[in-house]
Structure formats: structure tokens, C-alpha cells
Amino acid sequence: MEGLFSLVTFLVLLAVGYFAGVTIEKKHFRELQERERKLLHLPCVAMKQIEADCDIEYARLVIGSVVISVDYFKFFLAALRNIFGGEVKAYSPLMDRARREALLRMKEQVTDADIIINVRLETSRIGGGETGGEKNPLTCVEVYAYGTAIKVRREAAPEVAVAPAAAA
Amino acid sequence: MIKYTPKELTENVNVPKQSALRELFVLLGAVVGIILVVYLVLGLLVDVVVGRLSPATAQKLESNLSPMFLALFTNDTRLVTAETELQGILDQLLQSSGQTQRTFQVHLVKNSNVNAVAIPGGHIVVFSGLVAEAKSENELAMVLGHEVGHFAHRDQLRAMGRGLVLLALSTVLLGGDDAVSGLLQRTLAQAQLKFSRKQELAADEWGLDLIAKRYGHVTGSLDFFRRLGEREKLPQWTAFLMTHPAPAKRVKELEATVRAKSYASGEPKPLPPALREIASPGGP
């Protein structure tokens, strides 16, 4: 009886994990695509400095972070994958989502900047430890993106800048 | 300076093209396949090893395993007299066929389930529900003889051996506290409560042989199973049915054995008073 109960619990968890996981993931990918398109004008690079002959209006730290949980289906699939080895395909999209979300959140802080340089990504695991003596198998992943947003001081507005030349 | 050309991602290498469900079935299939093969092979090995153990080693193994099973049952002091009667039936059964090299201990436990369990170490646990359903001594002797048959064939050791193989397998393969192996342990450990139909039939035949030697005939000894077949649907029988073969089929096979061995027929012996008390409504 106990065995049957745990089997049913397991199957329910697996089904819920799968359907909820797929739905949430699809929705998240659609959203990411949409938001990335809007912020396409803002480059995000890993280089440490830019060489430009211009005045900098501001250079400031921007951060973006996200915590995404593994669902039970992914966890089980990864546990099975642990036996045979190979790419853990259950987790690849999850990490992809987390990285892109973190980068986007970072960019969304400074939509008026010209570039974000020195962008770094940090990944860490949250959970998976022991709660009340019982090992908790489910984990979350945190991805943390940070960089330096730079805005270049533009010359005065074009019509103003053009005016002296016209006068000359 | 490098020119920046914004470009939208159209394809994502991090999202697998195949469904995750497919991966699940492939991996699960592989795991189950491996476990099955190893389980079968090791199971066969256990059978061979258990068959070759010396009686002394087998008994020692069994007595090491018995405490964890015996802890599941509590003896009832009110049933002591009846328990002694049962023990007497069993002892005579064994003596008349000359099987005195090994002693068995009967435990009568207050439980409305109609069942009897053979526990490693020569312990036979009989539920009072079973005694209440018995109509003659021969019927009870048949149940006891059946359990002795399990011991004679070392069925418990075989079952335990397989159970241990299974446990060892999942622990080695998946780690002791893994969710997958925990599930496996719980579901498959339950399946281990059952002996195979072949083992049950062999135990039945063993019991029948003991009965024939003790009473000189086998009349009445199968009545218990016959009534069982008629009343299959009653809830108190479910425990018995969970761990034993379908009674109708069983009786048929046993009747064939009775004919084949041309056992004599005679008059069944009535129940001793202490056991009859349990059967009566006012009894303990």
C-alpha cells in the first residue's frame, strides 16, 4: 500500500513537472525573444574598456539576476542521465533561460545607455541541501549578470550644432 | 572601432529538438532493462547458492533474518493454550514423517486476517482469523504442512536473496538515498512478499505428503482451500489471497496430485477444544 502510494505520488509529481515545466518554458522563451528584440540596440560586451574619443556622461554598475527552479520532471530526467553520462539536455534550456533573463534584467536597468562593457555572468546553486534532516533533491539555479553601463555625452542637438556653421 | 550590428537570435542550440519525454523513455527503458537482466542473472545465482547451502548454514542465515520479521507480530497471552495445540499438531505431523532434524515454532497471533506466514528461522505465524475459519484439524495441519514445505524448499531464503539482490542493485546503481532507487526499493520490495506459483504448489504438495503420512489419508485437508475459493470476495480473505495463489486453481492442481499419488481417503479429525473456541463467536 505504501509502495503504491509513493508510486502514485511520484507519477503525479512527474506529470505536473512535465506539463507545468513545458508550459512555463515555452512562455518564457517567447517573452525572452520579445524583450531581447526591444533591447537589441544596446550592445552587451565582455571587453574591459572601450577606446573612444568622446565624453562619458556616465559609467555605472548594472546588475541583473534571476533564480529559476528545476521542476520534478527535469530533476528526474537529469538523475537518469547521471547514470549514463552525456549532455544533460533537461538542464540546458533551463540554464539558457536563466542567463538570458539575467542579461535582460541587467539591460532593462539602463535602456538609455550606449553600451554595457565588462559583462560577467555568475552562476550558483540554491537549495539541494538538507531541510530538517531530509535531503531535498530539488534545486534552483541563480544566474547573476553584471557589467558597466556607459552613456556617451552627445554633442549638442544637431540643429544647434549646425547653426554656427550656417552662420559662417 | 568595431562596428556593432544588432542581430536577433533565431535558433537556440541550448534547446534540444527532440522531446524530453522521448529522452525519459529511452533512459528509463535502459535502466529497467539493465536492472532486469542483472536481477535475473543474480536471481538465478541466488537460487543455485541457496540450493547448495548446508542445512546448518541455511538455518544460521535464517535465524539472522528472523528478528526483523518476528518484530512485526505480537503474541497474545490468551492464545497460549491454542498455540500449544497448534504446536502439537505440527510436531506430530513432523514426527510421523520422520522429519525431526529441524524444529519449528508456531506463533498464534490475534489478527482477523485469514493467513499464515512462514518466517525465516523456523517460525510459523498463524493468524487467529485462519484458525477461526478452520473446520477440522486436518485443514490446519495442511496449512502448517504447507509452511513447512516452504522451509524445506528454502523459499524464504530464495525470496530474501532476491530482495537483497534488488536492494544491492539499486543502491549500487543509483546511490542509497536517491529518489529513483527509493521508489524502486519500495515498490519492488513489496513484490518480494510473494512466492512464485510453482513454489506455492511445491509447498502444497509437501504439506499433502505430510498429511498423508500423519493421518493415513488426505480427506478434508483441502476443504480449507475449497471454502476459500467460494468466499474469495470477503475482505478478511484478501491478505491470504495477496500472498497465495488463486484457491480454485490451487485446489484443482492439488486434486490432480491426490489422484496421481492415489492418497487414501478417511474421516477428518475434529478440532481440539482450545482451537474450536477461537472459531466460536464468543472465543478470543
- Profile chain A (168 residues) by mean pLDDT over runs of 10 residues: 75 93 94 93 89 85 95 90 89 94 96 94 84 68 95 66 41
What sign results for the dihedral spanned by CA atoms A70, A71, A75, A81?
negative
At residue B155, what are phi and psi to the nearest 5 degrees?
-65, -40
In a domain, A161, yes or no: no
- How many separate domains does chain A show? 1
B31 has a pLDDT exceeding 50 = yes
DSSP lists the bridge partners of residue B82 as none
Q: Name the DSSP class of A44.
A: B
- B14-23, long-range: CB < 8 A, 24+ apart: B14/A92, B14/A93, B14/A95, B14/A96, B15/A29, B15/A92, B15/A93, B15/A96, B16/A89, B16/A92, B16/A93, B20/A18, B20/A22, B20/A73, B20/A74, B20/A77, B20/A89, B20/A90, B21/A18, B23/A77, B23/A81, B23/A89, B23/A90
The residue type of B45 is L
CA–CA min distance B187, chain A (Å):
5
Cell of B107: 506463533
CB contact under 8 A, A135 and B177: yes
Range of the domain at A77: 2-154
Of B8, B12, B189, the CB nearest to A37: B8
What's the pLDDT at A162? Answer: 39
Of B6 and B162, which is predicted with more confidence?
B6
Contact B55/B102 with Cβ under 8 angstroms? Answer: yes
Of A6-15, B167-176, B263-272, the poorest mean pLDDT is in: B167-176
Of B190 and B168, which is predicted with more confidence?
B168
What's the pLDDT at B278? Answer: 75
Of B14, B27, B190, the CB nearest to A84: B27
pLDDT (mean) for B33-43: 84
In a domain, A38, yes or no: yes
In a domain, A53, yes or no: yes
In a domain, A162, yes or no: no
- Give chain B positions within 8 Å (CB) of A36: 8-9
What's the pLDDT at B264? Answer: 80
What's the pLDDT at B170? Answer: 64
CB contact under 8 A, B173 and A83: yes
B173 has a pLDDT exceeding 70 = no
CA–CA min distance B33, chain A (Å):
13
What's the pLDDT at B175? Answer: 59
What's the pLDDT at A2? Answer: 60
In a domain, A34, yes or no: yes
Per-residue model confidence as pLDDT tens digits over B196-225 = 778 888 888 888 888 888 888 888 778 888
What's the pLDDT at A146? Answer: 97
Going from N- to C-terminal start, the domains of chain B cover: 22-279
Percent of chain B with pLDDT over 90: 3
- Give chain B positions within 8 Å (CB) of A18: 20-21
What's the pLDDT at A14? Answer: 92
B178 in contact with A, Cβ within 8 Å: yes
What's the pLDDT at A164? Answer: 43
What's the pLDDT at B284? Answer: 45
Percent of chain B with pLDDT over 70: 79
Q: What CATH number is given to the structural domain containing A133?
A: 3.30.110.70
B95 has a pLDDT exceeding 80 = yes
